[in-house]
Amino acid sequence: MGDKVMDLLKSKLDKAHLKKLETINNKHVNEFLKKVITLCHPKDVYVCDGSDRDVKDIKDQSLAHGEERKLKWEGHTIHFDGYYDQARDKENTKFLVSENVNFDPNLNQTDRKKGLAELNEIFKGIMKDHTLYVLFFCLGPTDSRFSLPALQITDSTYVAHSEILLYRQGYEQFKKLKGSASADFFRFLHSEGELEGNVSKDIEKRRVYIDVEENIVYSVNTQYGGNTLGLKKLAMRLAINKGYREGWLTEHMFLMGVNGPGKRKGYFTGAFPSLCGKTSTSMLPGETIVGDDIAYLRIIKDKVHAVNVEKGMFGIIDGVNEKDDPILWKVLNRPYEVIFSNVLITEENLPFWKGKDPHIPEKGFNHSGQWYLGKTDSKDNEIPPAHKNARFTVSLDTLENVDENLDNPKGVEVAGIIYGGRDSDTSVPVEESFDWAHGIVTKGAALESETTAATLGKVGIRKFNPMSNLDFLSIPIGAYVEHNLKFGKKVSKPPRIYSVNYFLKDDQGNFLNSKTDKSIWIKWMAWRCHNDVKGIKTPTGIIPLYEDLKDLFKKVLDRNYTQDDYIKQFTVRIPENLAKIERVVNIYKKKVADAPQIIFKLLEEQKKRLLDAQNKMGDYISPLDLPPVDK
């Protein structure tokens, strides 16, 4: 068997590439590659060992194929995804589930045998005109308890190049696996399929199928990063399942350092659905970034530690501007290595996106082809210059605010966990939970958010999204919540849990917060974690005292924060909070067969506190009328 595998590989790979595989000497890698070659018939095979030479080859080939084009600044390139391939395709992203397995009906799935047969058909001969790239990466820092080796096979140089920017090289780690009896690494197979004008043509055969039994994800006939970058949201689904079995967490979270008085720094993770301010929070001025999208959390010596699974950023570019995003601005407007996707190329060969400049170009080239102001698509919708979900990809080490612990194998100790969503009428801008279980249930598991452009479909509809992780769950929702609850109970002093809401509006529909206020909420949370400030107890948690915020606004933003603003932002909205509890309880009752009882218990207690307060003080309670807490 082994010999047959090597014979096939010898016939398909030239000597130099074969040698790179032989050095790794892993039969699971070889067997998987043989299967893929036999199925997909690539024209040739490129094995990337992560060396500067190989990395350069891949970037050069991406330009030569036209998957990326050069922009004006050295190092800047642009890639386009097809017009209908601009976001994660939730409908066609499915778990492959074996007949006898009882899988949560809330998670999109298909019969494993049928799914594999369908993939077999779709992948057959699909790479006949393409080079197949084999890449080795490591999820999490290398040489760490958090490290997970990952093998990416793709025929897209854009995917390969993006992953080189986004993930740590794992060739050395694969060498160390030598002789291991099991295929204890994640595998990702991607093909962009046939191209037309450099974009995937057979979009109706776009599939992302996840096989948690074998730790393999298949992605085909798509290019958009969220569907194709194996180590991003595809690996996340596998890692959630693995962490569940092994007692650790994979979360849709940024990870950042928040500077307190003196040299004190506290680390926070934050889970927000896509397009809700996750990246901009992790990039707040004066603080440091470890990661902006995915974190692994493990317990080390009675403390919760976290790492960034990635080492780069696949960030949303919409709205990025010089004033609000000075650090990103520099990277996006000087000669750094950046892959732009789905922005407009102007006549000066510069990228353009909404928010870059008030002056909108009259014409250019974008994801719809040649573009001019007023151009409409087949459904008569006006095509904006850049897609709302247009992105930039950079390595975090190009950012001047990158945290010193990015690659620390131990990760960083987590002081606080934040949950945030797009919520126009219910939650206050920042609030601390009473304890771990209260936070996990009422802030994490009860999270809702108004939809955005990061997935295909309508925007502006309130959606249930526990821990912002619903799209990526590979275990039943109830089990996932329970797993979170248990995780915090294993340590004597778990991180504090917060909610934030940047999207609260008044009755007239005006936002009650400005973009920069985020800095204040995060500083307040850091102060709270160190017992520097007291708070006010409301039926739903602990909120800041006016004086502390006033002090922080002055110190951090040099702004006078008025009591009037405070009252508007921190008024407890009882009817909206009650309605939210009802919605969430209903979902857990009707849809989540395995919902732990504690969810109902804690939500019921919260409801009772809200009703008591309503009886005494009415529907809308000013924070000034509520009592401060002792600690």
Interface with Mn ion by CB under 5 A: which residues? 293
Burial 598-627 (b: 16+ CB within 10 A, else e): bbeebbeebbeebeebbeeeeeebebeebe
Q: With binding defined as CB under 6 A, does residue 226 bind ligand SPV?
A: yes
- In angstroms, the Cα distances linking 35 to 32, 41, 153, 301, 444 are 5, 10, 12, 43, 41
The DSSP output letter for 446 is T
- CA 376 to each of CA 295, 368, 384, 458, 459: distance values in angstroms, whole numbers, following the listed order: 40, 10, 9, 18, 19
Query: Do the beta carbons of residue 293 and residue 232 sit within 8 Å?
Result: yes
- Residues 331-360, interacting with ligand SPV (CB under 6 A): none
The CB-nearest residue to ligand SPV is 226
d(CA 533, CA 544): 8
Of the candidate spans 4-12, 224-232, 317-325, 489-497, the one that interacts with ligand SPV by CB under 6 A turns out to be 224-232
CB of 232 to ligand SPV, least distance (A): 5
What residues from 447 to 466 belong to the interface with ligand SPV (CB under 6 A)? 454
Enclosing H/E stretch for 123? helix 112-123
Q: What are phi and psi of 280, to 5 degrees?
A: -65, -30
174, 188, 218, 314: which one binds ligand SPV (CB under 6 A): 314
Nearer CB in complex with ligand SPV: 238/512: 238
Stretch of residues binding ligand SPV (CB under 6 A), selected from 184-192, 225-233, 240-248, 317-325: 225-233
CB of 88 to ligand SPV, least distance (A): 5
CA–CA gap between residue 445 and residue 160 (Å, rounded): 35
Interacting residues with ligand SPV between 71 and 130 (CB under 6 A): 88
192 vs 293, beta carbon nearer ligand SPV: 293
Q: What are phi and psi of 417, to 5 degrees?
A: -120, 135
225 binds, among Mn ion, ligand SPV, none (CB under 5 to 8 A by kind): ligand SPV
Question: Closer to ligand SPV at the Cβ: 278 or 523?
Answer: 278
In the complex, the smallest distance separating the C-beta of residue 226 from Mn ion, rounded to whole angstroms, is: 8
Exposed/middle/buried for residue 307 (C-beta within 10 Å: 0-12, 13-18, 19+): buried
| Shortest distance (Å) from residue 391 CB to ligand SPV | 7
| Least distance in angstroms from the C-beta of 81 to ligand SPV | 11
* 422-458 CB burial, b ≥16 within 10 A, e <16: bbbbbbbbbbbbbebbbbbbbbbbbbbbbbbbbbbee
Nearer to ligand SPV by Cβ, of 85 and 423: the residue is 85
Interface mask toward ligand SPV for 254-283; x: CB under 6 A: --------------------x---------
235-251 in b/e form (b: 16+ CB < 10 A) is: bbbbbbbbbbeeebbbb
Residues classed as catalytic: 276
Is position 225 an interface residue for ligand SPV (rule: CB under 6 A)?
yes
Which residue shows structure tokens 């919605």?
A: 583
20 binds, among ligand SPV, Mn ion, none (CB under 5 to 8 A by kind): none
User: What residue 149 binds from ligand SPV, Mn ion, none (CB within 5 to 8 A, per partner kind)?
Assistant: none
Residues that bind ligand SPV (CB under 6 A): 88, 225-226, 232-233, 274, 293, 314, 454
